[in-house]
Structure formats: C-alpha cells, structure tokens
A = this chain, B = another copy of it.
Amino acid sequence: MANKVEPRTLPGFMELLPNDQVKFNQMIQIIQNSYERFGFLPLDTPVIELSEVLLAKAGGETEKQIYRFTKGDSDLSLRFDLTVPLAKYVAEYYNDLTFPFKRYQIGKVYRGEKAQKGRYREFYQCDIDIIGDGELSIINDAQIPSIIYNTFKELGFDNFTICINNRKILNGLFKSLNLSDKATDILRIIDKIEKIGADAVKGELKTIDISSQAIDTIINFVSIDGNVDEKISKLKELNISDDTFNEGVQELSDVIKYIRFLKVPEGYFTVDLKIARGLDYYTGTVYETFLNDYRKIGSVCSGGRYDNLAEYYTDKKLPGVGISIGLTRLFYQLSQMDAIKVDKQSIADVLIIPMDSEFEECMKLASTLRMQANINTDIYFDDAKMKKKMKYADKWNIPFVIIIGEDERNTGLYTLKNMKTGEQLKLSAQDVIATIKKV
C-alpha cells in the first residue's frame, strides 16, 4: 500500500479520547438513571426517516440544515431532533401505548450547521416528554423541575437555577393590550432583555409600532422582581382581566406549589417572567436552567408545555411537556472551563502486571476479581519494560496496579500499588478485593 488515505474526522463531529469518553459516558449514564428514577420509559427511534415523515412540519432554517439524500427510490433524512420522531412514534403506535406516556430518549441528532467552535453537526440530545391523550394535568409540569434538579445534582452541580415561566401569562398580557398579533415579535424582542438591556428593548419595540404606554406596561411587567411568591403576588395584583393571563398565573402558581411538594429546595428554582423560549412551539409552562457559576454558556436544559405533539400525523390531540439537554455542546463547554464534575476517571479499577511469563496466577486472580468481586480488571500481557507497563496504568488513570512475580506466587500475597498515593502493600486476594472496593 503506497498511497495512504489521511485518517481524519469531519469538522463539527465530536470524537473524544478515551479518558474524556469515560466522563462523557458517565454523564449519559447519570442522566439516564435520573430519567429512569422518575419512571420514564426508554425509546430508540431510527436515525434515518422518510423525509416526508420527518419534514412534515419543518421549514425555513431547520430544513436547510437537514442531512437529506436518496437511496434507491427513497427520499431520506437524518433526524434533527428527538421530538419529531417522538411525534411519529406516538401517532404510529398510539394503540399500543397507554397514557400519560412518559418516555426518555438519549441519542444523536444531525444538523448541517455552519462549522464553528463548540457547534456540532452530530450531537446528543437527552430528552424527556410526558404526553397526554386529549389532556394532561398541570401537575406534570411540576415534575419536570424535580427531574432537572435531580439530574444536575447527580451530575455534580450544586449552584444552578431552574427558571420557570408560563407562556399564557405573556400571551394574556399581550391580548389585554390588544397586541396579540404582535406576540411573536414582542416575545422575540423581550427575550433579549438580559443581553441588550431595557432601553434597547424599548427601542426595538417601538420599531414594531407599539404605543409608549403599552411598552411601559410590557417593560414593567417583565421587570417584576422579588422572590417566587412575591412575583406571583405581584402578577395577581396587576388585576389584568384576561382569562389567558389569569390561567397562566394560576398554572404557574400550581407548578410552584407542587415543586415544593416534590421537595425541590428553595433557591434551585425561580420564576423568570422574561423567559419566552423564542419558538412558537410552547403554549404553557416554559423552563430554562442556568449553571450560576457558568452563566455565559446559556441555558443547559430547556423545554416546556405544548398543546399538540403530533398534529401533522394524527387528529388525536396529544398535549405534552418536556425538556432537552444538549449534551455534546454542554460537554464541550464544561470541558473548556474545566467544569466537568463527574468523578469517574477510568474503566479498569485495577491493572494486573505479570513480572514474567508465568501467567497462570495472574489470570486466575483476574478471573476472581472480575467474576466474583465485580471489579473491572485489566491485565498487561505483552512483553514490555515495567516502566512502560506502569505508564499504561497511568495513561488510563487506573487507580491500582497488582504486580505478580515469583515471590508473589510463592507467598500467595500480591503487591498492590495505589497509583495515587504510591503506597505499596503485600496483600492476600481477599484483602486486595477489600482495598480496591474501599476506594
């Protein structure tokens, strides 16, 4: 073979070295465990779908990013999120499911975005959704922050805020101001208030032809402050006689009540009336989650309530509430700031190093550790200098090394080295197991 192909990975596709992959996988495992802790069922839908099915709703910017191609006679596309496949799934298997249907899905999705640092074309989404058949109690909206709280706690974070709002409050407000036709524009503009400030927002609102009085009301409204209960009180005190508005306030108030029943500690959640979640998609409760020590990376877990999941596939009304964690981007951002909190460093708990080519003792010990003690055990079989073998343990962060030579075989005591402390002990197999298990 004279001509070699240069081995390379496409830009925008994350590919990790093993030590990072161990951490990434642990984050996935924690998220999965947390979702399952709340009783969510797993789904795994195809990466490829018929374009007709996948793009039933899409359009504009999203459609341009799709990986779309033909194979034989089929017009195919790679999924760009996990929500459309869920809609398809629920409509397709409606009769095989029971509701409320609570599912999680953790998988890769594809968007041919412009390549830039921290933007990925293939990335993991970790989604949960609760889907009702015809209707879905508001209490489900309170479960979501409880799941977010549990998940980010388990991921090792302790300083984060789940921001909650309800789109009906905003929509009702606009209705009461006779600005419903401009709701989408207004939402888009006030969503920027943190970035550009109240004055710039006022300026932008003027450009879409809104009266100064209405602008003041809007700004005053999104500036309501205080703690959670004060905000809800102030909302009620506005005495806005719009049904949608009052429904939204009541829902928000219920959600807060139930979040407390679910023992999410005060300080981990708040009401943020500015949150609109740009999209038209959400119709009730909306969520954003911020790691307060890393606020600049934006929301790490967002979502909300929607009226109808699968209207493009079925006449059944299927309201739902859900959230998504974009794990690939989050992992990249946290890595950049050295803020990955999971503690798993290695796959193997111990590396067995034979001093010579008498492998029997090494192998038998390995089998005991693996099969009887459930200890992840690697053996370095190949011929190499001791220094190279120790470097192998070091490279993959393996916390213990067991060295076995003639002396060890004769005495039945193994040399166990703690790679962190450097401490070396001569121990029986049972003591080796106990020591490794303790760490």
Contact = CB atoms under 8 A, between A and B. Distances in A.
A110, A315, A376 pick with most chain B CB within 10 angstroms: A376
A117 interface: no
A43 B262 CA distance: 37
* In the complex, the 10 A-B pairs of residues with the closest C-beta atoms, listed nearest first: A39-B378, A69-B69, A39-B348, A261-B363, A7-B91, A13-B46, A7-B313, A18-B41, A7-B92, A263-B367
Given A6-B53, A143-B381, 13 more contacts: A1-B311, A5-B52, A7-B92, A17-B93, A22-B41, A39-B376, A39-B379, A67-B69, A98-B391, A98-B396, A258-B359, A261-B360, A262-B367
Contacts of A7: 53, 87-89, 91-92, 310, 313-314
A398 B411 CA distance: 52
A49 interface: yes
Interface in A108-126: 108, 110, 112, 121-122
Interface residues of A, number: 105
A47 interface: yes
A112 B74 CA distance: 11
Contacts of A122: 46-48
Interface string A240-251: 000000000000
Interface in A335-373: 347-348, 351, 359-360, 363-364, 366-367, 370-371
Interface string A134-148: 011101100100100
A372 to B, nearest CB: 10
A108 B46 CA distance: 9
Contacts of A226: none
Contacts of A223: none
